[in-house]
Amino acid sequence: MHPAFSVIFLTTLIGAGQGLFLALFTGQFYSMANLIPAQDSITFYALGSFIVLVLLGLGLFASFFHLGHPERAWRAVAQWRTSWLSREVIALPAFMFLVFVYGISHYFGWNETLFVVGQNVEIDATIIIGIIASMMAFVLFICTAMIYGCVKFIEEWHHWLTVANFTLLGIASGFLLAAAFSAYEGIELVAFYGTWAVIFMLLALATRLASLYRNARLKHKSTPQTAIGVRHTTVIQKAQGFMGGSFNTREFFHGKSGSTLRVVKITFLLLVFILPVALIAIAWSINSPVLPIAAFVLHYAGLILERWYFFAEAKHPQNLYYQSMA
C-alpha cells in the first residue's frame, strides 16, 4: 500500500494522545490507592489533559488531508453499523469530549467526594469520568486498528496482532510522553511512568516482532491463477492495458526499493524500542531530567517510520492485475 503521511500522523498522534490520557488516569488511580503521591489538579491533570486534546486535535486535523472532499467529512458517521471508519469518526470526538470534561473538572476542582468504596477509597466525579474516558480510549484503539484489520484481503493486516500493535504502541508512546512531561515539569513520577513505558515498549516489541515474523512467512491466497481464473502453472501478465500510471499503480504500492524497506524496518525497531528503553534505563540510573524527553522525541520519530512500514508491508491482491507496464 502507498503510505499516506496524513494517516501516519493521524494514527501516531492520536495513539500518543490516548496513551497519555491512560497514563494520567493511571497516575490518578494509583494516587487514589495511595501508592504514589497525589498530583496537582491544574498543573498535572488539567495541563496533561490539554496536551492530550492538542494531540488528538492535531491528529484529527491531519486526517482531513487524506480526504477528497473534507467538507463532507461529517457524513462519515452515517455507516457506523457496518464501517469501522464510521465508528472511529464517532469514537474520536467522543473521546475528545470526555478528555475535555476530565480536564475541565480537574481545572475547576470539581473533585468533591461522591461516595466512598471500602474504608478509605474516595470516589469523585473525575474518577468516574476518567473510567469512562479510559474505556473510550480502548474503544478508539480498537476502531482505529480494525479499519485496517477488517479488510480480509490485505492478509498482512487481517490479524489480531494489528489491534495489539496499535493499542500497545499507543499506550507505550503515551506513557513515555507522560515520563517526558513529568521530567519537564519536575514532577517525581518520572520513574513511575518510565517503568511502565518500558514495560509497554517491551510488550509492543514482542507483538510487533510477531507480526513482522508472520508477515514475512505469509503465503498469499490470491495468485495470478485465481486472479484471472486460468488454471495453468505459468501465468504472467504481459500488459496491464495502459502505459501511464493510474490510481491502481500509485495507491497500492509504496514505490520504494526492498533495501529501503529493510533500512526503515531496522531504524524503527531501534528508535521505537531499543533506544528509548536504553535512555529510560540510563535516565533512571543517573537521574537525568532531559533523557526521558529525548527518549520520547526519538520514539515518536521512530513511530512515524513504524507506521510507514505498516502501510508499506501490506500487499494488496489487486497488485496481481498491475504487474507489467507495457
Distance between CA atoms of 111 and 108, rounded to whole angstroms? 9
Cβ-based neighbours of 74, under 8 Å, separated by 6 or more:
none
State yes or no: residue 219 binds another protein (CB under 8 A). no
> Rule CB under 8 A: is residue 254 a binding residue for another protein?
no
Asked if 282 interacts with another protein (CB under 8 A), we say no
Q: Scanning the structure block, which residue is given the C-alpha cell 495468485?
A: 223
End-to-end CA gap in the chain: 22
Q: Which of 37, 70, 93, 255 binds another protein (CB under 8 A)?
A: 70
239 binds another protein per the rule CB under 8 A: yes
CB-based burial label for 173 (10 Å; 0-12, 13-18, 19+): buried
State which of residues 14, 51, 147, 205 lies at the interface with another protein (CB under 8 A). 147
Interacting stretch for another protein, rule CB under 8 A, among 14-22, 96-104, 168-176, 224-232?
Answer: 224-232
Residue 34 or residue 223: which is nearer to another protein going by CB? 223
193 scored as a contact of another protein (CB under 8 A): no
Task: Identify which range of 9-17, 112-120, 245-253, 280-288 contacts another protein by CB under 8 A.
Answer: 245-253
HSE value, Cβ hemisphere, 13 Å, CA-based, for 128: 12
Least distance from another protein to the Cβ atom of residue 133, Å: 24
Nearer to another protein, 195 or 249 (CB): 249
Of the residues 83, 215, 267, 288, which one makes contact with another protein according to CB under 8 A = 83
Does 94 contact another protein by CB under 8 A? no
Q: Which member of 125, 128, 150, 210 binds another protein (CB under 8 A)?
A: 150
Instruction: Tell me which of 37, 93, 109, 241 binds another protein, using CB under 8 A.
Output: 241
Residue 36 vs 90, nearer CB to another protein: 90
158 belongs to the binding site for another protein (CB under 8 A): no
CB atoms within 10 A of CB 251: 12
In whole angstroms, the minimum distance from the beta carbon of 130 to another protein comes to 29
Q: Residue for cell digits 513511530?
A: 303
Choose one: 47-55, 73-81, 118-126, 290-298; the region binding another protein (CB under 8 A): 73-81
Q: Does 9 bind another protein (CB under 8 A)?
A: no
Q: Kindly report the number of other CB atoms within 10 A of residue 242's CB atom.
A: 12
Q: Residue 62 and residue 17: Cα distance in Å, rounded?
A: 14
How far apart, in whole angstroms, are the C-alpha atoms of residue 176 and residue 124? 27
Burial (CB count <10 Å: 0-12, 13-18, 19+), residue 258: exposed
Task: Provide the 10 A C-beta neighbour count for residue 310.
Answer: 24
* Distance, CA of 302 to CA of 27 (rounded, Å): 26
Classify 61 as helix, strand or coil: helix
| Contact status: 37 vs another protein (CB under 8 A) | no
Exactly one of 75, 214, 256, 262 binds another protein (CB under 8 A); which one? 75
Cell (9 digits) for 187: 514532577
Hey, is 188 helix, strand or coil? coil
Query: What single DSSP character describes residue 154?
Result: S
Binding region for another protein (CB under 8 A) out of 43-51, 152-160, 277-285, 296-304: 152-160
Task: Decide whether 143 or 201 has the Cβ nearer to another protein.
Answer: 143
> What's 198's DSSP letter?
H
Residue with Cβ nearer another protein (118 or 244): 244
| Chain residues that interact with another protein, rule: CB under 8 A | 1, 66-70, 72-73, 75-79, 82-86, 89, 147, 150-154, 221-222, 224, 226-230, 232, 234-248, 251-252, 316-319, 321-322, 326
